[in-house]
A = this chain, B = another copy of it.
Amino acid sequence: MSEEVKPESVSLYPLGTGSRRPRSCGPLPQGAQVMSHTAAAHSASLVFICVHREHYGFLETIAPHLEGKVLVDVSNNLKKDMYPEANATYLQRLIPGAAVVKGLHTLSAWALQNGLLAGKQVYLCGNSGEAKQAVAAMATKLGLTVLDRGSLSAARELEDYPLRLFPEWRLPLRVAVGLTAFFFFYLLIRDVVYSYVERGKDTSFKIMVSLANKVFSIVSLIMLSLCYLPGIIAAILQLYRGTKYSQFPDWLNSWMLCRKQMGLVALGFAFLHAIYTLIIPIRYTAKRNLISLVLKENKTTPFFFDNTKAWGTDSFYALGILGFFLYVLLGITSLPSVGGSLSWREFSFIQSKLGHLTLFICTAHGYIYGWKKFLLPSTYKWYTPPGYMLSLIVPSVVLVLKVLLLLPCVDHTLTRIRQGWERTRSREEIVEGKVIKF
């Protein structure tokens, strides 16, 4: 066991900084040296290029000094597709004698300096394996987790990464905004405009809480069912095609890929619905209603307690609470660190069994809300059905289809298909064998 100390392992920041103005540089970590570019390039084996792309030109002038070095391109662009080729590819073209590695551009210098990055994932790419290894070794020492994304042709993708703005959340958020807008205006007409036009009563104050609360609950339920619909469509498709070996259509694939986000947006709406509901009794309106109820009750003589109504409303609330509880549970298991520690069977148990149970309970919560009002003509204002009825359509369809898929004969066929069986294959071929090589 030798006592040799590798220079890189001595301290976290053994860096020297090459600058065009060696004396007027910004704050530097201890142990760093400011040198002229040429000196820096000469003495280092790993050179970090912290230059805006538009100034890469000047690097050509010191190209001979960069020969055989590892150049780490940490540049970022301000927009996607600003330039025809990736910055790192351009740099490699300018200095063909160096080994360019793209990466570490996703780190904030400030966070790095303050040791806030332990465990953060970073991506690297480059044509030279050795060069990538050198950069990876250094990054590992900084506590980063390095993922090799292959050759320099991946640089484009890597450079676009820090410019990403929730791509997988776009579809769910658009659906949410669309549904919210539709139901907001639908209920505005039914609840506010209708009573103003027909009865001359101004109930516009309802917009802030009552109406918002209805919209939140409706959108939440529909979006929850939209999490489980693509899985059911996929199962029907597999049953229809009789094989699992054909690709799903693109729209179905991208729908399936954002189920988690869809569910989390639904959870957000459920959370709002829960708090909006809990706030009800503090509201001025609720207090006034209670007082006017008491004043009315005071005139009619016998005080009456309706047992059935107590059962109905209590069941309604209990189902709502249980549904919300399971909802939150689903949300917690979709946290990366929790989901990552589950076995596949556990994950599928929670997301499929518990998920469908949640949908069932929340749908039942909606049905009890309707209860006796279903056939009351007075609820069909201007011949429109109330909002909660519309919200029950998709969940009901999803639940009915799910039950059909769970019928023993259907379930058996589906299980066989998912284990590799194909309807159109002859008997001998069923012995499925696949060998994948690298």
Contacts and interface: CB of A to CB of B under 8 A. Distances in A.
B431 A283 contact: no
A50 interface: yes
A6 interface: yes
Interface string A117-138: 0111100000111111000001
A1 B307 contact: no
B313 A433 contact: no
Interface stretch (A187-195, A202-210, A398-406): A202-210
Nearest to A123: B143
B313 A303 contact: no
Contact of A40 (B284, B285, B317, B437): B437
A243 to B, nearest CB: 8
A336 interface: yes
A150 B9 contact: yes
Given A9-B151, A345-B163, A257 B114 contact: yes
A325 B283 contact: no
A3 B128 contact: yes
Interface residues of A, number: 151
B433 A19 contact: yes
A264 to B, nearest CB: 9
Contacts of A161: 343
Nearest to A434: B50
A384 interface: no
Given A120-B340, A166-B346, A303-B295, A51 B432 contact: yes
Interface string A63-107: 000001110000000000000000000000000001100000010
A275 B317 CA distance: 10
Interface in A281-298: 281-285, 287-288, 290-295, 297-298
A140 B150 contact: no
A318 B55 contact: no
Contacts of A147: 118, 140-141, 143
Interface stretch (A41-49, A222-230, A358-366): A41-49
B18 A129 contact: no
Nearest to A243: B26
Interface stretch (A174-182, A266-274, A373-381, A389-397): A266-274
A205 B246 CA distance: 53
A255 to B, nearest CB: 12
A311 B435 contact: no
A372 interface: no
Given A295-B294, A336-B337, A338-B335, A343 B282 contact: no
A145 interface: yes
A427 interface: no
A1 B340 contact: no
A17 to B, nearest CB: 5
Contacts of A132: 9
Interface string A342-353: 011110010000
A52 interface: yes
A8 interface: yes
A438 interface: yes
Contacts of A279: 277-278, 317, 321
A356 to B, nearest CB: 17
A363 to B, nearest CB: 18
A150 B12 contact: yes
Given A5-B128, A6-B129, A14-B438, 4 more contacts: A10-B151, A120-B340, A283-B310, A295-B298
22 contacts: A1-B131, A2-B130, A9-B150, A10-B150, A18-B433, A18-B434, A18-B435, A19-B434, A20-B433, A21-B429, A48-B437, A52-B432, A55-B433, A108-B344, A118-B147, A165-B346, A205-B307, A268-B329, A279-B317, A287-B290, A288-B305, A336-B340
